[in-house]
């Protein structure tokens, strides 16, 4: 059993993984709905990137002796994919979801630090300073990547407002 | 000469001794002066982030004045303005900031644009904005990484700085 602080971090990592599962499922569907060769290529690249991130997260959770959250049998977009614009919109949703989970991962080690005084029954403590720094770097990199990718899709959907002031919110 | 009754004399003597005793008692009590200790200043990382935001905002104003038809520029400026509002709201939680902003509000205007509007070539101006966005993103990322987890407002400040850094990175991407 892990300490309360570790639980918060593990939950955050599981959320990030769940969003990656959705992206790994979603991008092939997005890819076959798109028409532009450049966008199809982008969807393939992003599928590969999310697949790699998913595998790294599963390994990270394994080192924490936690069973990674499994992928759902299927994922659906908020709206049926009737054409390229719907596919772009779903891709944007997938990236915004990823950004949201990374933002949560940014907060989780901070919340864990406030529980630092408590230790689990097996004596495990909340994450140390080195692990906190590592998690924060991971979360920042993920948030920044998801925000930039979301910007790519948003620039196709709404060219005059391709960005959002607070990615992950 | 008016005659004073014994009752009047006694009551006045009683009143006088009561007042005198009260005054003496008051003088013997220790007097505690409250020294006005100014609150600590707000974290430099936050004030620096706000300064960067103001500088970027001035850059966008200059670019928009020169090239009002540039697509997307107004949206990016709106993001920067939102960052300033959010940073200002967080800074309001620090008494040192409230004190300094109240006393220097009029003496601390938004920094002026580095060059007069209209003198920069369009590409140079956009390229300068992109470079400024990249630089601000890097500085904000570092501020987010360095923010102590034990700080009282860390759960509010860390995700805010992280989101702003990610947004500025996407700005640099759009402006490139």
Rounded to two decimals, the ipTM of the complex is: 0.90
**B35 vs chain A: nearest CA distance in angstroms?**
33
Cβ of B170 within 8 Å of Cβ of A106? The answer is no
Mean pLDDT for the stretch of residues B139-152: 96
The pLDDT confidence band at residue B121, using thresholds 50, 70 and 90, is very low
The pLDDT confidence band at residue A111, using thresholds 50, 70 and 90, is confident
- What is the signed CA dihedral for A169, A75, A31, A54, rounded to 10 degrees? 70
- More confident of the two residues B107 and B16: B16
- Inside any domain, residue B19: no
- Inside any domain, residue B4: no
* pLDDT of A64 higher than 90: yes
pLDDT score recorded for residue A50: 98
Q: Is B49 on the interface with A (CB under 8 A)?
A: no
- Inside any domain, residue B9: no
User: B136 Cβ partners below 8 Å, 6+ apart?
Assistant: B52, B53, B56, B168
Measured CA to CA, the distance from residue A76 to residue A58 in angstroms comes to: 23
**A169 vs chain B: nearest CA distance in angstroms?**
8
Measured CA to CA, the distance from residue A11 to residue A4 in angstroms comes to: 11
Mean pLDDT for the stretch of residues A141-160: 97
List the 80-139 stretch of B: residues with Cβ below 8 A of A. Answer: 82-83, 86, 137
- Inside any domain, residue B91: yes
pLDDT score recorded for residue A127: 73
Closest to A144 measured CA to CA, from B131, B158, B170: B170
- Inside any domain, residue B25: no
- More confident of the two residues A110 and A145: A145
- Inside any domain, residue B34: no
Measured CA to CA, the distance from residue A93 to residue A85 in angstroms comes to: 12
pLDDT score recorded for residue B104: 61
Mean pLDDT of chain A: 91
**pLDDT, tens only, B53-107:** 999 999 999 999 988 888 889 999 999 999 999 999 999 999 888 777 776 654 4
- Inside any domain, residue B1: no
Query: Which residue carries 């009029």 as its tokens?
Result: B106
Mean pLDDT for the stretch of residues A29-47: 97
Residue B92 belongs to what domain range?
A: 44-175
Query: Which residue carries 């892990």 as its tokens?
Result: A2
- Inside any domain, residue B37: no
Count the domains in chain B: 1
The pLDDT confidence band at residue B31, using thresholds 50, 70 and 90, is low
The pLDDT confidence band at residue A5, using thresholds 50, 70 and 90, is low
Measured CA to CA, the distance from residue B26 to residue B127 in angstroms comes to: 73
* pLDDT of B123 higher than 90: no
């Amino acid at each position: 059993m892990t300490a309360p602080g570790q639980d918060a971090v593990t939950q955050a990592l599981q959320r990030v993984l769940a969003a990656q599962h959705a992206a790994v499922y979603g991008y092939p569907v997005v890819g076959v709905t798109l028409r532009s060769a450049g966008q199809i290529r982008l969807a393939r690249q992003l599928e590969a990137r999310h697949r790699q991130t998913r595998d790294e997260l599963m390994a990270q959770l394994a080192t924490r002796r936690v069973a990674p959250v499994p992928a759902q049998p299927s994922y659906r977009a908020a709206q049926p994919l009737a054409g390229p614009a719907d596919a772009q919109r779903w891709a944007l949703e997938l990236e915004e979801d990823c950004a949201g989970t990374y933002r949560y991962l940014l907060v989780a080690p901070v919340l864990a630090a406030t529980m630092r005084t408590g230790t689990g029954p097996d004596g495990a403590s909340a994450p140390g300073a080195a692990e906190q720094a590592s998690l924060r770097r991971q979360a920042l990199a993920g948030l920044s990547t998801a925000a930039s990718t979301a910007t790519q899709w948003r620039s196709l959907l709404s060219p005059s407002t391709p960005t959002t002031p607070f990615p992950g919110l | 000469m008016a005659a004073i009754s014994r009752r009047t004399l006694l009551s006045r003597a009683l009143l006088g001794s009561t007042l005198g005793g009260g005054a003496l008692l008051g003088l013997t009590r220790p007097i505690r002066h409250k020294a006005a200790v100014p609150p600590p200043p707000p974290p430099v990382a936050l004030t620096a982030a706000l300064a960067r935001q103001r500088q970027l905002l001035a850059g966008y104003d200059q670019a928009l004045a020169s090239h009002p038809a540039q697509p997307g520029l107004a949206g990016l400026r709106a993001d920067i303005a939102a960052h300033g509002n959010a940073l200002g709201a967080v800074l309001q939680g620090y008494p040192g900031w409230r004190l300094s902003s109240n006393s220097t509000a009029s003496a601390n205007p938004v920094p002026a644009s580095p060059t007069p509007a209209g003198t920069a070539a369009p590409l140079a101006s956009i390229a300068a904005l992109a470079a400024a966005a990249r630089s601000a993103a890097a500085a904000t990322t570092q501020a987010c990484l360095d923010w102590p987890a034990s700080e009282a407002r860390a759960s509010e400040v860390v995700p805010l700085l992280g989101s702003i850094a990610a947004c500025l990175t996407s700005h640099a991407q759009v402006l490139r």
